[in-house]
């Protein structure tokens, strides 16, 4: 807007200057004509009138020229003021532009920092999502295994119910057979009593005949057979099969219950192992932190004495066999280093860690060597 006002003022100034030049030319022409008329000196009235008119016009033109010059001066002052404001505006615009550039650079830097933070957060979220997906997959696998076991148990339960139904049917059949045999035995007992009455009467009256004795022995033998048959429920093979089925069903029930108890015990043992591992890890971290604090504080005199004492007992324990002592020393160093790695691995500070089989082997050897040291100390 200031540029437009400046251009407009410049155009008006040029127009006023052109008008002033034109008036100056007219004024010069009038002055020249007036001088010529005066130089002629004709002295007639017409020439004087003409000079008077020209002088009057010359005065008017001079007044107009003075007015135009005043207008031109005002326009110059206005144009100078506009130029001053324009320069100030340009300076303020330049300053504002510099401030905007600085603010833009600062904003770009902050935006870059925000992008870096977002990228770091995104990576961390992706890692946590991956760990969570792995845990969910592991849990899903365990749930699937448990569902498979539940299906197997359900199938076994259905088979058990089928066996129980068959056994109930067999029990009802055997019960009917038992009732029938019991009725037959009662009938035989009644017949036996009827037959024994006259024989007793005969015995009271005299000795029985040989034929009657044979009949009596056969009846006794048949009675023993009936008693044995009644004892076996009239069907020894079916009774044995029934007992075998019952025993097998009881064994399957016991196995299923043992399997359920085993799964529960396994879960409890896993939970206890995890709790123990957490406790051991926390204790190891505390010991390692305390050990580092002692080392940082420079309090190594007590540890030096303990180490010298243990090394002396090691020499006594291993005797002159320095190879065993060196092997134990290497194992102790490996045990300590790997233990630190395992402790740090729980806090996520290292990537690699000792294999658990190797760690167990090293621990076993360390315990054997410590037992030897303890025996040497006791000696």
pLDDT tier at 344, thresholds 50, 70, 90? very low
Per the listing, tokens 């324009």 go with 86
Is the per-residue pLDDT at 246 higher than 80? no
Q: What are phi and psi of 352, to 5 degrees?
A: -90, 160
CA 219 to chain centre: 88
* Nearest alpha carbon to residue 177 among 250, 243, 249, 237: 237
Asked whether the whole model's pTM tops 0.85, one would answer no
The predicted structure's pLDDT at residue 365: 67
* Nearest alpha carbon to residue 233 among 323, 172, 308: 172
Tell me how far CA of residue 376 lies from CA of 106, 156, 335, 371, in angstroms: 72, 60, 22, 9
Structure tokens at 158: 């259905």
Cβ of 58: how many Cβ atoms within 10 Å? 19
Query: In the chain, pLDDT over 70 holds for what percent of residues?
Result: 46
Q: Quick: pLDDT tens for 123-139.
A: 888 888 898 888 888 88
Sequence-distant (≥ 6) Cβ neighbours of residue 340 within 8 angstroms: 288
Is the per-residue pLDDT at 169 higher than 70? yes
The predicted structure's pLDDT at residue 78: 76
Top-ranked range on mean pLDDT: pick from 29-38, 94-103, 260-269: 94-103
Query: In the chain, pLDDT over 90 holds for what percent of residues?
Result: 0
CA 220 to CA 214: how far, in whole Å?
10
- Average pLDDT over every residue of 205-216: 59
CA 243 to CA 164: how far, in whole Å?
12
The predicted structure's pLDDT at residue 373: 57
- Average pLDDT over every residue of 215-233: 59
Sequence-distant (≥ 6) Cβ neighbours of residue 373 within 8 angstroms: 310, 313, 314, 317
Q: Are 208 and 199 in contact (CB under 8 A)?
A: yes
CA 342 to CA 344: how far, in whole Å?
5
CA 374 to chain centre: 47
| Mean pLDDT, all residues of the chain | 67
Tell me how far CA of residue 163 lies from CA of 98, 166, 245, 255, 309, in angstroms: 95, 5, 8, 16, 72
Interior/surface letters 251-275, b for 16+ CB within 10 angstroms, e for the rest? eeeeeeeeeeeeeeeeeeeeeeeee
Is the per-residue pLDDT at 236 higher than 60? no
CA 356 to CA 295: how far, in whole Å?
28
């Amino acid at each position: 807007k200031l540029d437009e006002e400046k251009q407009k003022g410049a155009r008006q100034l040029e127009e006023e200057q052109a008008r002033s030049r034109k008036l100056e030319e007219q004024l010069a022409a009038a002055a020249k004509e007036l001088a010529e008329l005066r130089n002629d000196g004709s002295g007639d009235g017409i020439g004087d009138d003409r000079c008077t008119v020209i002088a009057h016009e010359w005065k008017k033109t001079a007044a107009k020229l003075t007015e135009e010059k005043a207008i031109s001066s005002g326009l110059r002052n206005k144009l100078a003021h506009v130029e001053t404001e324009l320069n100030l505006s340009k300076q303020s615009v330049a300053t504002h532009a510099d401030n905007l550039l600085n603010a833009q650079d600062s904003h770009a830097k902050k935006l870059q920092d925000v992008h870096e933070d977002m990228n770091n957060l995104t990576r961390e979220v992706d890692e946590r999502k991956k760990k969570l997906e792995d845990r969910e997959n592991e849990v899903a696998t365990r749930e699937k295994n448990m569902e498979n076991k539940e299906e197997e148990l359900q199938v076994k339960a259905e088979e058990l119910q089928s066996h129980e139904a068959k056994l109930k049917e067999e029990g009802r059949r055997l019960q009917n057979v038992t009732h029938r045999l019991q009725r037959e035995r009662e009938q035989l007992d009644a017949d036996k009593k009827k037959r024994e009455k006259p024989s007793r009467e005969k015995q009271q009256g005299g000795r029985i005949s040989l034929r009657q004795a044979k009949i009596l022995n056969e009846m006794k033998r048949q009675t023993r057979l009936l008693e044995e048959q009644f004892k076996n429920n009239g069907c020894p093979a079916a009774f044995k099969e029934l007992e075998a089925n019952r025993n097998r069903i009881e064994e399957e029930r016991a196995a299923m219950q043992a399997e359920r108890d085993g799964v529960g015990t396994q879960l409890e043992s896993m939970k206890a192992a995890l709790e123990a591992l957490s406790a051991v890890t926390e204790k190891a971290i505390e010991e390692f932190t305390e050990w580092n604090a002692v080392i940082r504080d420079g309090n190594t005199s007590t540890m030096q004495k303990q180490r010298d004492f243990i090394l002396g007992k090691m020499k006594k324990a291993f005797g002159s066999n320095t190879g065993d002592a060196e092997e134990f020393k290497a194992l102790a160093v490996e045990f300590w280093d790997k233990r630190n790695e395992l402790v740090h691995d729980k806090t996520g500070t290292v990537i690699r860690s000792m294999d658990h089989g190797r760690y167990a082997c090293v621990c076993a050897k360390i315990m054997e060597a410590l037992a030897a040291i303890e025996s040497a100390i006791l000696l």
